[in-house]
Amino acid sequence: MTLYPLLDKINSPSDLRNMERSLLYPLSKELREFIIENVSSTGGHLASNLGSIELSIALHYIYKTPDDLLVWDVGHQSYSHKILTGRRNKMPSLRQFGGLAGFPKRDESPYDTFGVGHSSTSISAALGMSIANKIKGKSNKAVAIIGDGSMTAGLAFEGLNNAGWLDSDLLVILNDNEMSISENVGAISQYLSKILAGRFYNTVKQTANKALSLVPSVQKIAHKVEEHVKGMVMPSTMFEEFGFNYIGPIDGHDLDELVDTLTQIKKLSGPQFLHIVTKKGQGYKLAENNPIGYHGVTKFNPLEGMSNNKSVAKLTYTQVFGKWLCDMAKTEMDFLAITPAMREGSGMVEFAKAYPDKFYDVGIAEQHAITFAAGVATQGIKPIVAIYSTFLQRGYDQLIHDVALQNLPVMFAIDRAGIVGADGPTHIGAFDLSYLNCIPNMVIMAPVDENECYQMLWTAYKTNKPCAVRYPRSTGIGATIEEKMTILPIGKGEIIHPGRKIAILAFGTLIHPALEVAKELNATLCNMRFIKPLDTALIHEMYASHQYIVTIEENVITGGAGSAVLQVAQQLGFTNKTLNLGIADEFIEHGDQPTLLQLCRLDKNGILTSIQQFIEKEISNVKP
């Protein structure tokens, strides 16, 4: 007997639309159990997906997908969408190499209308689809599903503003669970959340419930219209001023109300805004009680929950940053730590608790975070911006115009640099060395281990100009951290292993497989430490004393550290044969980090083989 008798019958949304409406509730129960079973086996985003199950069912039940277009913001809430659109049997491969992506992906399914991974893009994308369909004379509906956390980003409001002005046939669904990855912050979030918690509304509700309890039949009717009363009490002016017809808030776990509401909305034209209220982790008590901890999970036993027993033998680089931040705060006063909604991911939980007056979470607003930091820096306070490599891309204009152009001493602690693994190409940190290296006034560092990361953070903090330390999403090698903070000499590398004929110039943690290769080839190995400024004296020494030069970096080769070395060598007049190793000119798919490093030939065997093939080719090209 199958464990999922209803779910197993659904191979496409058309199967769902042929289902009796009375079966939608038991289907939602099966779907919730199926997601818990699979995500606990593969890892992935759990709490947010449990909160959007009823919404996904209702959308595919009412709208004729894929002709009608659903755009899921970020994708943290799209697992049920994937399952209902023919990918149920592939869920055991979720986020694994060669398997299902963790986010909607256009070449994975026609139901994935837009590739996502970064927040707040859904409204603009769905608006574009709506306008394109209008031009082509098509009547397809376009729906953007966005979380309240993503509504803290300016891009979402740019989309809303344009949609209302264009009077487009667009539905925006605000899935309000009062959470993004961390707790939501900011005036917009407070505006939304205080409505349901406000004294006026709750006083009215409590008084009415007390009076109506004496008349049970009337009370039952009153509960039915309660959500509509909320809509009358709620100051929906903000969204209506954008030109939207505001509807809600309604219970996002009430399938009957969702289906009825969406049925009516589908008949309407012009910009529609539906506000639903859901609970992150709905139906799984452990996730309901700890939605942050169960946002992104590794493999676990669903009966026991996530284990709190974490090894302390080796620190992740994220933990190194968190430790440094707390240690530094004991002696330093004039600084602020800033993050765009990445408190947990950037290792700032303990710091935020210990130094709340120094911690600023600005929400999902990377552009604002950087310009905010620049403003802080103009007044003699040192801003420390903790941000993922993939999210720093979103504030690139601010990085150039507001920070570097004014040569302001903003420090960037760049996490998730290089290959990130299961999150895939939307989150890979393969571009920061390239996009930072071309910016004047920048200082860029990459540590080889935990201790060097710790010292580089201190060096960056003490550097009176824009400065970045980039480190990977991984555990260190177990290096002992020397808590006496040392300022490293800017632009100076070091020779780790002396050799002859071949010189390997390594940037960052790939020095460890490179060291094994250097020993096997009797090559010289240099820890370059700085990408900008480069150690030109060390480069001169290596080119002058070695026949072959190899650069290694966990970044795209194009415009990266190796390219900068070649430029210096050319300026110095050297013509030595140089091999640049790094990430090729392509996007790297999702999978575990060791597999992806092997795929990129950046593991020990890949590096060794690449060097050997390079030298053999050069020897064969030498004319007798």
Q: What is the 3-state secondary structure (H, E, C) of 453-511?
A: HHHHHHHHHHCCCCEEEEEECCECCCCCCCCCCCCCCCCCCEEEECCCEEEEEECCCCH
Residue whose pair of structure tokens reads 């790939």 in the numeric block? 510
Q: What is the tens place of the pLDDT at every residue in 383-425?
A: 999 999 999 999 999 999 999 999 999 999 999 999 998 888 8
Return the structure tokens found at 225. 């219209």
Q: Which residue range forms the structural domain that includes residue 232?
A: 21-297
Q: What is the pTM of this model?
A: 0.85
Cα torsion 62, 63, 65, 70: sign: negative
**DSSP letters for 295-352:** TEE-S-BTTTB-------SS-BHHHHHHHHHHHHHTT--SEEEEESS-TTTTT-HHHH
372 pLDDT tier (thresholds 50, 70, 90)? very high
Q: Which stretch of 193-197, 323-327, 508-512 has the lowest confidence by average pLDDT?
A: 193-197
331-371 pLDDT, tens digit each: 999 999 999 988 998 999 999 999 999 999 998 899 999 99
Q: Which of 366, 452, 553, 554 is catalytic?
A: 366
In a domain, 57, yes or no: yes
Inside any domain, residue 302 = no
Q: Are 409 and 467 in contact (CB under 8 A)?
A: yes
Strand order in the sheet with 245-251: 69-72, 142-147, 170-176, 272-277, 245-251
Distances (CA, A) of 219 to 248, 252, 580: 21, 21, 73
Is the CB of residue 181 less than 8 Å from the CB of residue 363? no
Amino acid identity, position 107? D
Supply 450's token pair: 């935990």
CA 179, 180, 182, 187 dihedral sign is negative
Judged by average pLDDT, the poorest of 63-72, 229-238, 252-261 is: 229-238
Domain-embedded: residue 510: yes
pLDDT at 102: 86
Both structure tokens of 20: 């009796």
pLDDT, residue 349, reads: 93
248-262, 373-387, 538-552: least confident range: 248-262
Least confident among 97-101, 182-186, 254-258, 491-495 = 182-186
Where among 266, 297, 328 does a domain terminate? Answer: 297
336 with 285, same domain? no
Active site residue 280: yes
Average pLDDT over residues 268-280: 91
**What is the distance between the alpha carbons of residues 404 and 237, in angstroms, rounded to a whole number?**
39
What is the reported pLDDT for 450?
Answer: 95
What's the pLDDT at 623?
58
Could you give the residue ranges of the DSSP H alpha helices within 136-235? 154-166, 187-197, 199-212, 216-224, 226-233
C-alpha 541/C-alpha 406 separation (Å) is 34
Is residue 11 one of the residues assigned to a domain? no
Tell me the three state secondary structure of residue 263. helix
Whole-number pLDDT of residue 624: 56
* Residue 75 confidence (pLDDT): 77
Query: Does 481 reside within a domain?
Result: no
Taking all residues of the chain, what is their mean pLDDT, rounded to a whole number? 88
Return d(Cα 609, Cα 601) in angstroms, integer: 8
385 and 532 fall within a common domain: no
Judge if 389 and 503 occupy the same domain. no
At residue 546, the pLDDT reads 97
**What distance in Å separates the CA atoms of residue 46 and residue 419, rounded to the nearest whole number?**
23
Using CA atoms, how far apart are residues 218 and 212, in angstroms rounded to an integer?
Answer: 6
In a domain, 349, yes or no: yes
| 404 and 459, same domain (yes or no) | yes
Q: Which residues are 503's β-sheet partners?
A: 524, 549
- Asked if residue 235 has pLDDT above 60, the reply is no
Residue 587 CA to residue 38 CA, distance in Å, equals: 27
Residues 282 and 392 reside in one and the same domain: no
Q: Integer distance in angstroms from the first to the last C-alpha of the chain?
A: 75
Are 527 and 447 a contacting pair, CB within 8 Å?
no
Q: pLDDT for 422-458, tens place per residue?
A: 888 889 999 999 999 999 999 999 999 999 999 999 9
Please give the pLDDT value at position 28: 93
- Domain match, 561 and 443 both: no
How many distinct structural domains can be found in the chain? Answer: 3
Mean pLDDT of 585-602: 92
Q: Which of 32, 87, 141, 280 is catalytic?
A: 280
How far, in Å, are 50, 56, 76, 300, 343 from residue 252 at the CA level? 12, 10, 16, 27, 27
- Please tell me whether residues 167 and 248 are part of one structural domain: yes
- Collapsing DSSP to helix, strand or coil, 439 comes out as coil
User: What integer is the mean pLDDT of 451-471?
Assistant: 96
Residues paired with 296 in a beta bridge:
45
pLDDT of residue 183: 55
User: What sign results for the dihedral spanned by CA atoms 103, 107, 113, 115?
Assistant: positive
* Token reading at 321: 């940053």
Our CA angle for 255, 284, 188, nearest 5°, is 70
Q: For residues 288 and 178, is the Cβ–Cβ distance under 8 A?
A: no
Q: What is the CATH number of the domain that holds 86?
A: 3.40.50.970
Co-location of 555 and 616 in the same domain: yes
Contact status, residue 561 vs residue 551, Cβ threshold 8 Å: yes
* CATH number for 573: 3.40.50.920
Q: What is the pLDDT of residue 421?
A: 86
Assess if residue 549 is contained within a domain.
Answer: yes
Check residue 292 and give its pLDDT. 79
- Predicted pLDDT at 618: 85
Which of 394, 470, 473, 529 is catalytic? The answer is 394
Q: Are residues 329 and 233 in the same domain?
A: no
Q: Residue 242 CA to chain centroid, in angstroms?
A: 28
% residues pLDDT > 90 (the chain): 66
For residues 456 and 507, state if they share a domain. Answer: no
Give the model's pLDDT for residue 49: 87
Task: Based on the residue annotation, tell me whether 394 is a catalytic residue of this protein.
Answer: yes
In sequence order, which ranges of 18-153 are alpha helices (DSSP H)? 24-42, 47-50, 53-62, 79-82, 122-135
Let me know whether 353 and 442 are in one domain. Answer: yes
In a domain, 139, yes or no: yes
Summarised one tens digit per residue, pLDDT across range 1-60 is: 468 999 999 999 999 999 999 999 999 999 999 999 988 888 888 888 888 999 999 999
Buried b vs exposed e over 124-158: b needs ≥16 C-beta within 10 Å? bbbbbbbbebeeeeeebbbbbbbbbbbbbbebbbe
Q: Are residues 146 and 285 in the same domain?
A: yes
Q: Model confidence at 200, in pLDDT bands (50, 70, 90)?
A: very low
The pair of structure tokens assigned to 518 is 């250097």
Q: How far apart are CA 575 and CA 559, in angstroms?
A: 19
